[in-house]
Amino acid sequence: MTVNQIIGDSKNQLFANFGKQFFAWMMASSTSKYDKIVSDRKRSLFANLQGKVLELDPITGANLPYYPKDIHWIGIEPNSHTHSSLQKQAEKLGLNIDLRIGNAEWLDAEDNSIDTVVSTLVLCSVPNIDYTLQAILRVLKPGGRFLFIEHVAAPQGNLLRQVQNIISPIWKVIGNGCHPDRETWIAVGKAGFSNIHYERFDAQLPIVSPYLIGVATK
């Protein structure tokens, strides 16, 4: 390896680290606005949950306060370092939770065993959305539901969509794999669900908007 290569690698690493810090700051500053916009939608979406509920990448447990206390909640969280804080938060809320290591493409659950799968702000960053949706269909019981709130690509020809397309390569680096221009509704439509209902809404956040909220039934 040459000195120029070393310097180049160092610059790339510095850029990546700065980008991640900037992304984290931006998302943290937007969290309160996002929570206010989606809180009522979450209450409505999660109101009638029953039985086994599997959530993809719960991370900080932002959805836990919205869940009924009598469900059997399973969290598939790849980062084991978050498990302790998730467990503590669940105890405060009176929830019994089952945390498992895995990721959205490999779900540690038996076939046809889950009543509901929940995904919020996950499908934008999975490496292969088609694999993820097939994993969700595999674990859902017949008639089981997939509930989702996800940011998606703006309409074609829209100025925001043009910005998303341009910034996407950089955004994926600084945003932990997040694709701001992912057409998630197309992937869900092709996955093989028997029925799909969703609506769009604007979360008034830069780059990561509009949003979809919906239900897909196996």
- Residue 58 located in a structural domain: yes
Q: What is the pLDDT of residue 68?
A: 94
Count of domains observed in the chain: 1
Specify the CATH number for the domain of residue 95. 3.40.50.150
Residue 204: pLDDT band with limits 50, 70, 90: confident
Q: What is the pLDDT of residue 213?
A: 97
Higher pLDDT, 5 or 44: 44
- Residue 9 located in a structural domain: no
Cα separation, 110 vs 159, in Å, equals 44
pTM: 0.85
- Residue 107 located in a structural domain: yes
Average pLDDT (129-136) is 97
Average pLDDT (37-41) is 90
pLDDT for residue 187 is more than 90: yes
Q: What is the pLDDT of residue 15?
A: 42
- Residue 115 located in a structural domain: yes
Candidates 53, 59, 47; CA nearest to 139 is 53
Cα separation, 161 vs 207, in Å, equals 9
Which helix (H) or strand (E) is 33 found in, with range? helix 3-46
Domain that holds residue 193: 32-217
- Residue 112 located in a structural domain: yes
36: its two tokens: 């206010």
Is the distance from CB of 13 to CB of 6 less than 8 angstroms?
no
- Residue 7 located in a structural domain: no
Is the distance from CB of 38 to CB of 110 less than 8 angstroms?
no
Average pLDDT (147-151) is 95
Q: What is the pLDDT of residue 37?
A: 82
- Residue 23 located in a structural domain: no
- Residue 24 located in a structural domain: no
Cα separation, 21 vs 168, in Å, equals 17
Cα separation, 7 vs 135, in Å, equals 42
Please state the separation of Cα 118 from the chain's center in Å: 9
pLDDT for residue 182 is more than 60: yes
Average pLDDT (135-164) is 95
Residue-wise pLDDT for 100-122, tens only, equals: 998 899 999 999 999 999 999 99
